[in-house]
Amino acid sequence: MTIIKLDATDSTNSYLKRLQTSENVEDFTAVMAKKQTQGRGQMGAVWESQASKNLTFSVFKDLSDFSLETTFGISLAVSLAIRKALQAFLIPQLSVKWPNDILSVDKKICGVLIENVIKQNAITGSIIGIGLNVNQVAFDHLPRASSLKMITGTVYNLDEMAHAILNQLKVHFDLLESGDFLALKAEYESCLFRKNKPSTFKDAEGSLFSGFIKGVSNFGNLQVLVEDNIIKEFDLKEVTLMY
């Protein structure tokens, strides 16, 4: 597993995307940058991260020989791999906020941006961008963000953390490849943030509604009990969990 280390780039996801169009990139090649000038988050958001304090890295997963039933499998493997790696560092109360934010003690410590590489109408690879807040100690205007250092008081080595996540990514993609999709989904649902708790959501029009998260579909849609016996499914563009 090659790790390319950069002092700065626009976005490690964009860097890896460019690299794989110009050369043959091996499975699990990773790009790590001390600083991103245009870090990207989900749904077009900006990802901000203090230089040299956190992990901002992207991993290329070759999917050309991978039989993938649904792309949600990638999301499952990635979220659970990060969670497992962090468990080994004894990070407390880890949960996954749908679809793939990692929380500790109900605060967001890690965001994931998965971008698929499509060639001739088929998904041939995935660029998995991981922003893990490690040693940063303040997040102005982001009251729900935190870092490993803020939670445990420990300063962590970024290289060690990256290797631990890479190893777990490999383990979890192997599980996915050997047909463990439903087992991974069950594990994901067992650590799903606010599952079965009364929660408030915002729909695409901006209206609030309440319900209980029950799980996820095989395609990764969030299943919410909105009224007695009525479960509705939402995709990422259709709903935001307001906590």
- Cα angle 78, 181, 96 (rounded to 5 degrees) comes to 40
Of the listed pieces 11-19, 91-99, 181-189, 212-220, which binds ligand BTN according to CB under 6 A? Answer: 11-19
The least CB distance from residue 209 to ligand BTN, in Å, is 23
Neighbours of 95 (CB within 10 A): 18
Task: Kindly state whether residue 136 participates in binding ligand BTN, applying the rule CB under 6 A.
Answer: no
Nearer to ligand BTN, 180 or 240 (CB): 240
Residue 139 pairs in a beta bridge with none
The least CB distance from residue 54 to ligand BTN, in Å, is 8
The least CB distance from residue 9 to ligand BTN, in Å, is 9
The least CB distance from residue 100 to ligand BTN, in Å, is 8
Evaluate the CA torsion angle 132, 134, 135, 138 in order and state its sign. Answer: positive
Nearer to ligand BTN, 42 or 199 (CB): 42
Of the listed pieces 36-44, 69-77, 181-189, 217-225, which binds ligand BTN according to CB under 6 A? Answer: 36-44
Task: Kindly state whether residue 111 participates in binding ligand BTN, applying the rule CB under 6 A.
Answer: yes
Task: Kindly state whether residue 112 participates in binding ligand BTN, applying the rule CB under 6 A.
Answer: yes
The least CB distance from residue 120 to ligand BTN, in Å, is 26
Task: Kindly state whether residue 11 participates in binding ligand BTN, applying the rule CB under 6 A.
Answer: yes
Task: Kindly state whether residue 36 participates in binding ligand BTN, applying the rule CB under 6 A.
Answer: yes
Within 41-100, which residues bind ligand BTN (CB under 6 A)? 41-42, 45, 47, 56-58
Whole-number CA gyration radius for the chain: 18
> Measured at CB, which residue is nearest to ligand BTN?
111
